[in-house]
């Protein structure tokens, strides 16, 4: 895999959901990268290695995940968005940021993008606006007791890898290692609480997409059943300034599975955004 630019600054930012573990790379316009559930900020490393310099990349471990403080009480996506605002304040951010989220990261991003002055742009990757399907909800409810008792091994690990990665990506030792190691970092209780708060209790926000008035790029894969290219296109049609694209040979963790393709989409999106801002 390509190497991250150096140096990295590691810090912890206090929020109402506990301190968040953050790595900051580079200088320039602040670009926040918030990862999917189950995993942490390390899933962004292959992508950031392809994005080049000239930006300040903020790689976040979500509340209760990775090396962030354990999540000790139930919350919801709105609570995570409040924690994201605390994060931006703690970073000393004074202007709208470019937000890149993967799944859970963009359920938070949808909330922030609807508020004036918080985001300059939103890139939503594999982030269905609807609640989780009933079959997936039932599967998670079966796995939660196993997670609480035995931790993220065995059937829990297999289910997460199957939901996050294509079969080809799951056979890649580097990709699989990033997922497994990030899954094992939080405590069992914290991970269970995060799953209930940010997945099982997630509600439909399709009707709220019309309130988002920043440029958006919706990135779908060709192998996730509830965020298909067609679903991403429908979400983009509901959003005033959104475009939908599809990255092939990926499932949920598209930036980890196809970092070069995702980097190409992001760099083009940001370049167009910069050109629009420079236009008289």
For 76-121, the pLDDT digits (tens) are 999 999 999 999 999 999 999 999 999 999 999 999 999 999 999 9
| pLDDT for position 15 | 98
List the alpha helices (DSSP H) in the chain.
45-48, 77-90, 104-113, 134-150, 154-164, 167-170, 173-184, 188-195, 229-238, 254-257, 259-278
| pLDDT for position 11 | 97
Tally of CB atoms within 10 A around 185: 18
Residue pair 34/102 in contact (Cβ under 8 Å)? The answer is yes
| pLDDT for position 195 | 94
| pLDDT for position 275 | 82
Q: Per-residue confidence at 73, pLDDT binned at 50, 70, 90?
A: very high
**What integer is the mean pLDDT of 57-74?**
97
At 99 the three-state DSSP class reads: strand
Count of all residues that appear for the chain in the document: 280
Query: Quick one: CA torsion of 111, 251, 20, 263, rounded to 10 degrees?
Result: -90
Weakest-pLDDT range from 131-135, 168-172, 177-181: 131-135
Q: Per-residue confidence at 280, pLDDT binned at 50, 70, 90?
A: low
Of 177, 218, 184, 233, give the one whose Cα is nearest residue 45: 177
Q: What is the mean pLDDT of the chain?
A: 94
Q: Per-residue confidence at 1, pLDDT binned at 50, 70, 90?
A: low
CATH number of 8-278: 3.40.50.1820
| pLDDT for position 187 | 95
Residue pair 101/108 in contact (Cβ under 8 Å)? The answer is yes
Q: What are phi and psi of 95, to 5 degrees?
A: -135, 160
| pLDDT for position 142 | 87
pLDDT at 130 exceeding the cut of 90: no
Prediction pTM value: 0.95
**What integer is the mean pLDDT of 220-245?**
95
């Amino acid at each position: 895999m390509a190497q991250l630019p150096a140096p990295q600054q590691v810090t912890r930012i206090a929020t109402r959901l506990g301190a968040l573990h953050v790595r900051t790379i580079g200088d320039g316009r602040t670009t926040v990268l918030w990862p999917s559930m189950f995993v942490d900020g390390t899933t962004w490393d292959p992508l950031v290695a392809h994005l080049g310099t000239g930006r300040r990349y903020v790689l976040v471990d979500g509340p209760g995940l990775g090396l962030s403080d354990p999540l000790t009480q139930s919350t919801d996506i709105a609570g995570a968005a409040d924690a994201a605002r605390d994060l931006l304040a703690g970073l000393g951010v004074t202007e709208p940021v470019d937000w890149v989220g993967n799944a859970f990261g963009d359920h938070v991003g949808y909330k922030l993008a609807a508020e004036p002055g918080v985001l300059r742009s939103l890139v939503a990757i594999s982030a269905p606006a609807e609640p989780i399907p009933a079959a997936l909800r039932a599967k998670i409810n079966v796995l939660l007791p196993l997670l609480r008792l035995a931790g993220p091994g065995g059937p829990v690990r297999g289910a997460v890898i199957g939901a996050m990665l294509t079969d080809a990506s799951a056979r890649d030792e580097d990709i699989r290692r990033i997922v497994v190691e990030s899954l094992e970092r939080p405590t069992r209780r914290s991970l269970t609480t995060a799953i209930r708060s940010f997945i099982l209790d997630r509600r439909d926000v399709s009707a709220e997409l019309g309130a988002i008035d920043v440029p958006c790029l919706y990135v779908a894969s060709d192998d996730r059943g509830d965020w298909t290219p067609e679903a991403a296109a429908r979400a983009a049609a509901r959003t005033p300034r959104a475009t939908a694209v599809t990255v092939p040979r990926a499932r949920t963790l598209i930036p980890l599975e196809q970092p070069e393709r995702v980097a190409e989409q992001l760099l083009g999106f940001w370049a167009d955004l910069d050109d629009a801002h420079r236009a008289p």
